[in-house]
Chain A
Amino acid sequence: MARAAVPGRLGDRRLTWQPARLLESRAENAGARSLVFAVPGWPGHLPGQHTDVRLTAPDGYSTERSYSLAAPAAGDRIELTVQRLPDGEVSPYLTDVLGVGEEVEIRGPVGGWFVWRPADNGPVLLAAGGSGIVPLMAMIRARRLAANRSPFRLVYSLRTPADQYYAGELREPAPGDNGVKVTYIYSRAAPPGWARPPGRLMAADLAAAGWPAQAAPACFVCGPTGFVEAAADILVGLGHDPGRIKTERFGPSGG
């Protein structure tokens, strides 16, 4: 697994906070932005890993949050997608205040469990609820970069079409994304003429758009706690091995 060689004592491989300079910020939708940072010496990471971001105020008060890495690293450049939580302490600063050229502190990459390895083969089910798409998009992007041909099925639950992340990339897939099948589930409002009435993810959705349990896919479920529990319960109910279902909950600590 990718591991950081960090500055510090010889042989000390514990992670430390490092400066990260904002290079680019672009809107994904009205409530989320993708941020590209330069992190000197970034060791690379696996799709699904996350990083912690720390902000420190002039009076010394500091606070940190975890964000999923949204894409494979490009050298020293990493990309996060941050959802702005209106009463959040960190996300509004990252999306609305931090300017290009300014710095925050980053610690990562961390988390070696909720990861897909580009050397893996075999079917994959990705189930995303809202901003839970971020680490799953990193897996799709890593698959493309590695020219991996594993069949992916993404079931992406979102409130309304306007809440989608990575809309262009998912709706007009790159040639390398052949074999990535995307199904949208709208929970509150669907596009005009959409066959499925708006509503929460149901067993029938994952039965139709996912894999049969016999295919033994690797399942990655990411989203708010309620979505993750519902989706994981449905998958177990459909006969999937709980040992092949990996979950990551996005809580309000993401604020």
Chain B
Amino acid sequence: MTEQYLDGNALAGPLSEIFAMDVTVAVGRCANCRLTGPVAGLRLYYRAPGLVARCPGCDSVMLRLVRGPAAAWLDMSGTAALRIPVPPEP
């Protein structure tokens, strides 16, 4: 049986409560192996108290999200950088 994970795509809903832009289309860089790729392409493990997104290259944790009753905790210590598409400046 394949280990159960989803694509980072599935972060779009939970992150939409926190950010006004769609973070899953941003390109992230793994703090461990430096691999870059869309957040939508991370491996999302959801059988945890929260969501854990791992690098598809080295399996390091890049993002953790836990939603509490009044606040969300977002740990991105495993993400070195995010390249976020923005509309051109006027």
Query: Is the beta-carbon distance between B17 and A225 smaller than 8 angstroms?
Result: no
Write the B1-40 contact mask toward A (1 if CB under 8 angstroms, else 0): 0101111011011001111101011000000000000111
Query: Is the beta-carbon distance between A225 and B13 smaller than 8 angstroms?
Result: no
Segment 16-72 of B: residues with Cβ below 8 Å from A: 16-20, 22, 24-25, 38-41, 46
List B contacts of A84 (CB < 8 A): none
Q: Which of A106-114, A174-182, A202-210 is the interface stretch?
A: A106-114
In the complex, A52→B67 CA distance in Å? 15
Known A-B contacts A14-B18, A112-B22; the reply to A226 vs B2 at CB < 8 A is yes
Per a CB cutoff under 8 Å, which of B17, B20, B22 touches A111?
B22
In the complex, A13→B19 CA distance in Å? 8
In which size bucket is the chain A interface? 20 to 34
- CB-CB nearest in chain A for B39: A113
Query: Is the beta-carbon distance between A225 and B22 smaller than 8 angstroms?
Result: no
- CB-CB nearest in chain B for A12: B20
Per a CB cutoff under 8 Å, which of A52, A110, A251 touches B6?
A251
Per a CB cutoff under 8 Å, which of B6, B9, B17 touches A14?
B17
Give the interface of A toward B (CB within 8 A): 1, 12-16, 50-52, 64, 66, 107-108, 110-114, 225-226, 229, 246-249, 251-253
28 contacts between A and B (CB under 8 A): A1-B22, A13-B20, A14-B16, A14-B20, A15-B17, A50-B12, A50-B13, A66-B13, A107-B16, A108-B13, A108-B16, A111-B24, A112-B22, A112-B25, A113-B22, A113-B40, A113-B41, A114-B9, A114-B40, A225-B4, A225-B6, A246-B40, A248-B7, A251-B5, A251-B6, A252-B4, A253-B10, A253-B46
What 6 A-B pairs come out closest when comparing CB atoms?
A: A113-B40, A110-B12, A111-B12, A13-B20, A52-B13, A15-B16
